[in-house]
């Protein structure tokens, strides 16, 4: 292994011992870009890797809010402005009970290269809170968002840092966050947030963009393999916003999602989640109860397996983990490989542990695509929302979709090309890491030391 890469990994292990998710993301990344670092001795001279793995800044703040009974609660808020070399920091906010500094940093780190891959001028950031939105009333959500934004507003702006949604944060939360930002700043800078409602500058197709983008990317993978969507059965973990977009677009292109899962278990619908009725039902089910997918089985009379995941089933052609980080560990990866499935397309951020990912990539019969490329359509359309806001106009759904489609094809093709240049063959994981890295590294080297 290149000694500078090794030395940086050792340092990370030592320095960030208490941040396992962050160390995991950095190690996977550094191992991928090793052939590039080996070719560029100047990186070591200018300590590029250590500068790359240390955030430019990270805010951690207290968020105090009152529940409907008048009781006060205190949560921790975060915003990590990881790397701004190619544009304003950009990335979502995650509201989830388990959020901590390690999770925010891993997400922000992944975001840097994902954002670079989109080809849009956006740096990498991420934020959130350990606030648990489950079971909260609308008024409680509003008060929490207002308090969160009161702490954050002085650090963000359309040319500084542009947050958006992630788990636990969708258009409703973005609305409350924007309202508070506007109230505090006394101006209408709607480019400060993306994922907004259409009434105040949101972009068409933004809610569907991550799922649609994942399917467009997959389409390029299938093309490369002289394969098509026709009749393909897809297993998607999760049934949130992203999974929903996958179901809808896959159905449009002739494939069908036959497995989906939630925290309560998994659903097997061999006919596929392809009709408008089924897709609409999922939307409504998620709105009323975000932790149970069983109602789908009750409604459409299909199999529900409680408390289990479907990894390892043989009657799918494509696996798409689209739920949470580290969903697929080593034992699960073995089951997936043994099932004989060819395509493993990551969608959620870092859904695979490093040992599992290494194993899947080593299986000759499999093609593995990395989340930071596959799910980049979401933030890509966020960047298009920023463009529309700064132009003070809105594009049609067709225009946005056309840009998204092109973006996903470019990400696939560029990853493929750069991997080939480095003699790695059709290696989409290394290709994405290297392509993203080269854009950010070049900008950092050109901007001098800091």
Note whether 91 binds ligand GLU by CB under 6 A: yes
* Span interacting with ligand GLU, options 90-98, 143-151, 291-299, 415-423, rule CB under 6 A: 90-98
Closest distance to ligand GLU from the beta carbon of 326 (Å)? 16
Residue nearest ligand GLU (C-beta atom): 92
Q: How far apart are CA 379 and CA 92, in angstroms?
A: 8
Residue entry with tokens 């309560």: 264
Which one, 374 or 416, has the nearer CB to ligand GLU? 374
- C-beta of 90 vs 278, nearer to ligand GLU: 90
Does residue 429 touch ligand GLU according to CB under 6 A? no
Q: Considering beta carbons, is residue 36 or 404 the nearer one to ligand GLU?
A: 404
Pick the stretch among 4-12, 85-93, 150-158, 303-311 that binds ligand GLU (CB under 6 A).
85-93
Q: Does 194 bind ligand GLU (CB under 6 A)?
A: yes
Site for ligand GLU in 343-402 (CB under 6 A): 349, 378-379, 382
Cβ-based nearer residue to ligand GLU, 382 or 430: 382
Q: Is 126 a catalytic residue?
A: yes
Catalytic residue among 90, 105, 114, 126: 126
Instruction: For residue 93, list its beta bridge partners.
Output: 127, 165
- The least distance separating ligand GLU from the CB of residue 158, rounded to whole angstroms, comes to 13
Window 44 to 63, contacts with ligand GLU (CB under 6 A) = none
With respect to ligand GLU, which residue has the nearer C-beta, 90 or 232?
90
Per CB under 6 A, does 321 bind ligand GLU? no
Beta carbon nearer to ligand GLU, 141 or 383: 383
CB-based contacts of 66-71 (< 8 A; 24+ apart in sequence):
66/143, 67/136, 67/140, 68/137, 68/139, 68/140
Residue 213 interacts with ligand GLU (CB under 6 A): yes or no: no
In this chain, which of 75, 77, 85, 90 binds ligand GLU, going by CB under 6 A?
90
Residue in 55, 92, 240, 431 binding ligand GLU, rule: CB under 6 A: 92
Q: Taking a C-beta distance cutoff of 8 angstroms, is the pair 287, 244 a contact?
A: no
SS (H, E, C) the chain: CCHHHHHHHHHHHHHCCCCHHHHHHHHHHHHHHHHHHHHCCHHHHCCHHHHHHCCCEEEEEEEEEECCCCCEEEEEEEEEEEECCCCCEEEEEEECCCCCHHHHHHHHHHHHHHHHHCCCCCEEEEEEECCCCCCCCHHHHHHHHHHHHHHHHHHCECCCEEEEEECCECHHHHHHHHHHHHHHHCCCCHHHCCCCCHHHCCCCCHHHHHHHHHHHHHHHHHHHCCCCCCCCEEEEEECCHHHHHHHHHHHHCCCEEEEEEECCEEEECCCCCCCHHHHHHHHHHHHHCCCCCHHHHHHHCCEEEECCCCCCCCCCCEEEECCCCCCECHHHHHHHHHCCCCEEECCCCCCECHHHHHHHHHCCCCEEECHHHHCHHHHHHHHHHHHHHHHCCCCCHHHHHHHHHHHHHHHHHHHHHHHHHCCCCCCHHHHHHHHHHHHHHHHHHHCCCC
From residue 130 to residue 169, what is the string marking binding to ligand GLU with x (rule CB under 6 A)?
----------------------------------x-x---
Measured from the CB atom, the residue of 91 and 202 that comes closer to ligand GLU is 91
Residue closer to ligand GLU by CB (options 85, 379) is 379
Binding residues for ligand GLU, rule CB under 6 A, total 10
Q: Which residues form the interface with ligand GLU (CB under 6 A)?
A: 90-92, 164, 166, 194, 349, 378-379, 382
Catalytic residue numbers? 126
């Amino acid at each position: 292994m290149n000694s500078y890469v090794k030395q940086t990994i050792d340092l990370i292990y030592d320095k960030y011992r208490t941040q396992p998710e962050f160390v995991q993301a950095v190690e996977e990344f550094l191992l991928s870009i090793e052939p590039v670092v080996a070719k560029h001795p100047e990186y070591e001279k200018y300590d590029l890797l250590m500068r790359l793995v240390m955030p430019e800044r990270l805010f951690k703040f207290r968020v105090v809010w009152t529940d409907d009974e008048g009781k006060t609660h205190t949560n921790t808020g975060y915003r990590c402005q990881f790397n701004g070399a190619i544009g304003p920091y950009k990335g979502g906010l995650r509201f989830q009970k388990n959020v901590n500094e390690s999770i925010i940093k891993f997400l922000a780190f992944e975001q840097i290269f994902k954002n670079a891959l989109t080809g849009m001028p956006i740096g990498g950031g991420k934020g959130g809170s350990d606030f648990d939105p489950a079971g909260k009333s609308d008024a409680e959500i509003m008060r929490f968002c207002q308090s969160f934004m009161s702490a954050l507003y002085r650090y963000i702006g359309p040319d500084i840092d542009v947050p958006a949604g992630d788990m636990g944060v969708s258009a409703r939360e973005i609305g409350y966050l924007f309202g508070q930002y506007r109230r505090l700043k006394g101006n209408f800078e709607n480019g400060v947030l993306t994922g907004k409602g259409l009434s105040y500058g949101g972009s068409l197709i933004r809610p569907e963009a991550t799922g649609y983008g994942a399917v467009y990317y997959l389409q390029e993978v299938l093309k490369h393999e002289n394969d098509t969507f026709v009749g393909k059965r897809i297993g998607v973990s999760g049934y949130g916003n992203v999974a929903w977009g996958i179901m809808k677009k896959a159905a449009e292109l002739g494939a069908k999602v036959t497995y989906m899962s939630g925290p309560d278990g998994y659903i097997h619908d061999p006919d596929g989640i392809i009709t408008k009725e089924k897709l609409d039902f999922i939307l409504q089910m998620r709105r009323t109860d975000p932790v149970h997918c069983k109602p789908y089985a009750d409604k459409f009379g299909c199999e529900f397996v409680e408390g289990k995941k479907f990894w390892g089933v043989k009657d799918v052609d494509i696996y798409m983990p689209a739920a949470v980080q580290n969903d697929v560990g080593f034992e699960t990866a073995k089951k997936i490989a043994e099932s004989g499935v060819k395509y493993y397309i990551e969608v959620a951020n870092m859904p695979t542990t490093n040992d599992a990912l290494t194993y899947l990539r080593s299986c000759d019969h499999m093609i593995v695509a990395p989340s930071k490329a596959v799910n980049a359509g979401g933030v890509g359309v966020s960047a298009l929302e920023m463009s529309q806001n700064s132009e003070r106009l809105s594009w049609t759904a067709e225009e946005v979709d056309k840009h998204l489609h092109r973006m996903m094809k470019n990400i696939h093709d560029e990853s493929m090309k750069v991997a080939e240049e480095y003699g790695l063959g059709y290696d989409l994981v290394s290709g994405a890491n290297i392509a993203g890295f080269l854009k950010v590294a070049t900008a950092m080297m050109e901007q001098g030391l800091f």
